[in-house]
Structure 1
Amino acid sequence: MYKDYPSAYQGGKDSPLDIDKNFYDRIRETTDARTRISQVEVPIRSGYAWTVKAGQVFRVTTPKGAQVGDFNIWNAHNPRERLWASRTRQLQGSHVSIYDRLWSTLPFMRPLVTITDDSLKDYGIDEHGGRIHDLLGTRCDPYINRILTGKDFDHHCHSNLTRAVLPYGLTEFDVHDVLNIFQVTGLNHESKYFMKTCPAQVGDYLEFFAEIDVLCALSTCPGGDLSLPMWGPDAQDPISVCRPLGVEIFDLDPELIKGWKSPQCSPYAGQHGLTLTK
């Protein structure tokens, strides 16, 4: 085992990394101060997009059992501000759970959502170094599928997300690196990415608090619970292990979030050392 080593990115007191855990604990624990206003089941090998207002809570769930979901998120009013997976990995970790935040791209640089609950938070690190809710990898896509197999397939996560966001005026150029919800991954001894069978059971969930108004999109991965290989010499169609995902949105009692404010964008002026000359 390697010795533990301190993380590179550390914030001081009252920085956005020094979150008020008591605030998010109240949201998680005070279940009688929320009202579910929407519940949707997303069919297998498809995508779904939805908006969430700042101060609301939403969940991604496994209503029928183990299934991986590829998740994208944008500022609902400006899609140029969207999840920055690599910076989130640096600030929060390669895999995320309660109190972790999903951070937005430059020049905005602020938390889009904060994770408030996770029914699989105790998964920990397995015997292969795998962890759950992954920011290491990205979405499966038809372009790499064509390269690896010589065949076209239109229901990879990239395509599912593309179809889901079209009604919101977005295209595949807006689809970005994902949070792989319910997915167990890690790096092997060759430093190569591996995926393991999803451990989620019926009723598991990952819950988020919207820090700003957000547009979200979710793909029910065509690999299902990832128990069957999609590529390589043993590849097969894993449709038999594909299941739907659920999306739920909740209003919170205003008293529960009294005093909370949406985070502001980074105050950096953005000059990058440049000066204007006449």
Structure 2
Amino acid sequence: MTEPSDAALRRAVAPVICYPTGTLPQPDLGLYRTARAGAQKVAEVVVPPRDAAAFEVPAGGFFRITSVEGPQVGDLNLWNAADLSERFYSGKTRALHGTHLTVGDRMWSCFPYLRPMATMVEDTLGWYGADEHGGRVHDVIGTRCDPHTHHLLSGEDYHHCCHSNLTRGFAAATGMPVAEAAGAVHDVLNVFMCTGFTRDTGQYFMKASPVRPGDYLEFFAEIDLLGVLSACPGGDCSSEHSSDTAACFPLLVEVFAAQPGALEGWKSPARNGYSGTHGT
């Protein structure tokens, strides 16, 4: 392949942000934190290693995901608890906030709703930033480990990939047949996972998560939520993915309810205002 004479000029073109976010409505983190200070714990669920569990959070509530025994990453799916056709949209979340989420970023829902589902309000791994390899935590890059790709690469069936875990958890929570539930599972927020892209080939990489027992992420529920969290069979994702060889640990999900009046002036965001006519 011959490099053109103007190759350097072409590479030097300045990038343009695809979706400038200056006009996005901003979360009132001060209000959320004040409400959280007086909130009461109302539920908890322990997600077993290499498995998943479901939980519900009412709009205006909070949920916390905590590493409780050892370094463990998790794959998170969210649905509107009142309308399961509205679910988390990782691709648009990535386009709006970047490849990895941090405090103040939001998990956005799919079309035609496109509204905030949850807002990240606390992150004990916020100190990590970007490492020398370009790795960061809490990505919306990866799709979720799944049995189809596992079979493609190894020729083996493995039923504890995060896709299958999430399928079982969602089916159990909704009563939906497994085959239908598998189609409702979607791309995830990779909680605590440390990932990036290699500089030479641009391949998606993972490395040992910096998470330790006691570390947590906390979210404010902007709408009524059904969540399912998988404790990934990769453990801390330092070496193995979708296997029984990695050390795996449980994750704890806790749900907190704000006190009456603590969120005065706040209301759930309305669904996206686009007319839906698509030019017809």
TM-score over 0.5 (shorter chain): yes
Query: What do residues 127-149 of structure 1 show as CA deviations (whole Å, max 9, x unaligned)?
Result: 10000001011111111111111
Query: What do residues 217-243 of structure 1 show as CA deviations (whole Å, max 9, x unaligned)?
Result: 000101111122338xxxx7434x101
Matches within 5 A, 1:90-239: 90-167=95-172, 168-170=174-176, 171-189=181-199, 190-230=201-241, 237-239=244-246
Which range moves more in the overlay, 180-189 or 165-174? 165-174
Confirm or deny that 1:8 pairs with 2:23: no
Match of 2:5 in 1: none
Shift of 1:6: 5.6
Specify the code of the residue in structure 2 equivalent to 1:24. Y
Match of 1:81 in 2: 86
Confirm or deny that 1:20 pairs with 2:28: yes
**Contact 2:207/2:239 (<8 A) preserved:** no
Shift of 1:107: 0.5
Match of 1:271 in 2: 277
SS at match of 1:256: coil
- Equivalents in 2 of 1:96, 1:12: separation in Å? 17
Question: Given the superposition, is the C-alpha separation of residues 24 and 5 from structure 1 closer, same or farther in structure 2, using an over 3 Å criterion?
Answer: farther
- Equivalents in 2 of 1:7, 1:24: separation in Å? 29
- Equivalents in 1 of 2:48, 2:255: separation in Å? 18
SS at match of 1:257: coil
- Equivalents in 2 of 1:6, 1:203: separation in Å? 39
Query: What do residues 110-163 of structure 1 show as CA deviations (whole Å, max 9, x unaligned)?
Result: 000101111111110001000000101111111111111111111110000000
Specify the code of the residue in structure 2 equivalent to 1:8. C
Specify the code of the residue in structure 2 equivalent to 1:23. L
Question: How many residues get paired?
Answer: 263
Shift of 1:23: 2.2
- Equivalents in 1 of 2:31, 2:108: separation in Å? 19
Identity of aligned residues (%): 46
- Equivalents in 2 of 1:12, 1:121: separation in Å? 22
Question: Given the superposition, is the C-alpha separation of residues 121 and 148 from structure 1 closer, same or farther in structure 2, using an over 3 Å criterion?
Answer: same
Specify the code of the residue in structure 2 equivalent to 1:250. F
SS at match of 2:160: coil
Q: Which runs of 5+ in 1 are unaligned?
A: none
**Contact 1:65/1:203 (<8 A) preserved:** no
**Contact 2:44/2:254 (<8 A) preserved:** yes
- Equivalents in 1 of 2:70, 2:128: separation in Å? 16
**Contact 1:224/1:238 (<8 A) preserved:** no
Shift of 1:267: 1.1
- Equivalents in 2 of 1:230, 1:75: separation in Å? 29
- Equivalents in 1 of 2:213, 2:20: separation in Å? 37
Shift of 1:257: 0.9
Q: 1:66 aligns with which of 52, 56, 71?
A: 71
- Equivalents in 2 of 1:39, 1:252: separation in Å? 15
Specify the code of the residue in structure 1 equivalent to 2:40. T
Question: Given the superposition, is the C-alpha separation of residues 230 and 105 from structure 1 closer, same or farther in structure 2, using an over 3 Å criterion?
Answer: closer
- Equivalents in 2 of 1:4, 1:218: separation in Å? 39
Q: Which runs of 5+ in 2 are unaligned?
A: 1-11
User: What is the Cα-based RMSD across aligned positions, in Å?
Assistant: 1.9
Specify the code of the residue in structure 1 equivalent to 2:128. Y
Q: What TM-score comes out, normalization by structure 1 length?
A: 0.90
**Contact 1:26/1:256 (<8 A) preserved:** yes
